[in-house]
Every structure is written in structure tokens, then in C-alpha cells.
Amino acid sequence: GAGVSQSPSNKVTEKGKDVELRCDPISGHTALYWYRQRLGQGLEFLIYFQGNSAPDKSGLPSDRFSAERTGESVSTLTIQRTQQEDSAVYLCASRGALEQYFGPGTRLTVT
Amino acid sequence: DQQVKQNSPSLSVQEGRISILNCDYTNSMFDYFLWYKKYPAEGPTFLISISSIKDKNEDGRFTVFLNKSAKHLSLHIVPSQPGDSAVYFCAASANSGGSNYKLTFGKGTLLTVNP
């Protein structure tokens, strides 16, 4: 079956521009997570969606970051007024039972 | 403050030998632990997990050991194969009490298995 997919795979943007990253979770997975991995670091939790419950936004690093999810399907992560420190791989994961399954990530480079 | 620590950034072993990857945690609320494997330009792939009610879980060549009193877990790969060469991440979550199962990751250990 299809896994988690993300687009674009790579994004280069100029400082100050807005970017939108997309995640398609595994069909039937109600829980969806966004993480990011900066160079040499582990994955950092950003935001969590579960069904129609209010999302857990506790990991978002600033108010320039926001995310939406339509029902139990696609999610988009938006970064406004990008900064160089936003450069990272942004990973989406969906969860069935206990384990989270990750997409390939979007590598964001802010120049 | 790192709650999940992988103190060895890299490990090199010979094909056929045992690989042992270590992980320490500080948060006593963690009750579920996972290992993920990551190849370059790919997302992490779930490998094996263990609940805090167990001290060992085995799946083929992979075994995870948990020592709750020491807040330490390890992943054993036996026998190691060149295809096992990847970055291995240890992750933990606090799942009891209606948690959102969010994962806290270590920084990873790069395993190289030499033919």
C-alpha cells in the first residue's frame, strides 16, 4: 500500500518568502505529525493532528509557523517570512496503532 | 535539555559481527521506545519498539533491550550486514494518560558495516 508522501521533495527559497509544504498520510491513519530535522540534530516535534480534535501546536518554534489538516487527509505546513534558521528537512508522519510512519521529507533551504 | 541521548555519533563494525547501539533517556514518564533507521534522502523507517512493561523485544536480527532502572536501552543487530549501514535514531514517548504519542528523538548514530 501507499506510504506517507510529501511534496515538494526539495525547496529553495529566498529569505522573507513564504513556503507551503504538503503531506499525504497513509489512508486510514487518523493521527498526523510534523517534525523537522536540522543539520546534525535529531527530529524535533512541531505539531500533531488527531481527527477533529484541536491540534497540539506546542512544538511550533514561532508564530511564523502554522499548519492545517483537512479532515483525516492532507496536511499543509506553512512557514511565513522564512529565515535562514528555518533551513531543515521537514518530515511528516502518520500513526495507525502505536508506531509512526514517516514520509521522505521536504528539504527546505533558505538563502 | 536533551531528554533522549545517543552518545555515540558513529559506530563501525565488521560484517557478521554484532552491532550494539545505545540510548539513554532522562524523562521517567517515557513508557514506549522505538528505533528508526534512516538512509540518506529518505524518511526514517520504523524498525522495532518496546513497551516499558517489557525488558526485551526481538524481531529477526534485531533485539531491543530496556533497562528502566538505568533509563537505558540498546539495539542489537546480529549478524550485521552491509545493508544495515544507516543512521539509527532512538525515540521515546509518554503514552499513558491520553498522550498524543509525540516522539522525542536522539541525535542518531551512524552505523557503518564493513564487508
Given this model, what pLDDT does residue A98 score?
80
B5 phi and psi angles, rounded to 5 deg? -125, 130
pLDDT of residue B35: 97
Q: What is the pLDDT of residue A1?
A: 54
Residues with Cβ within 8 Å of residue B109, at least 6 apart in sequence:
B6, B8, B9, B10, B11, B21, B22, B87, B88
Per-residue pLDDT, B62: 98
pLDDT at B98: 60
The whole-number pLDDT of residue B79 equals 98
d(CA A47, CA A56): 6
Contact B102 A98 (CB under 8 A): no
Does A102 sit within 8 Å of B45, measured CB to CB? yes
* A26 close contact with B: CB closer than 8 A: no
pLDDT of residue A23: 97
Residues of B in contact with A40 (CB under 8 A): 107
Residue-level pLDDT at A2: 79
The x, y and z cell numbers of residue A111, run together, are: 538563502
Predicted confidence at residue A73, as pLDDT, reads 87
Question: Is it the case that residue B99 has pLDDT exceeding 70?
Answer: no
Of the candidates B46, B19, B24, B18, the residue with the CA atom closest to the CA atom of residue B107: B24
Check residue A71 and give its pLDDT.
78
> Is A49 an interface residue toward B (CB < 8 Å)?
no
CA–centroid distance for B8 within its chain = 12
Instruction: Please report the pLDDT score of residue B101 as a whole number.
Output: 81
| Average pLDDT taken over every residue of chain B | 93
Distance from the Cα of A103 to chain B's closest Cα (Å) equals 5
Q: What is the pLDDT of residues B49-71, one digit of tens each?
A: 999 999 999 999 999 999 999 99
Phi-psi region of A40 (alpha: psi -120 to 50; beta: other; left: phi over 0): left
What type of residue is B38?
Answer: K
pLDDT score of B96 more than 80? no
Report residues of chain A scoring pLDDT below 70: 1
Q: What's the rounded mean pLDDT across residues B87-105?
A: 84
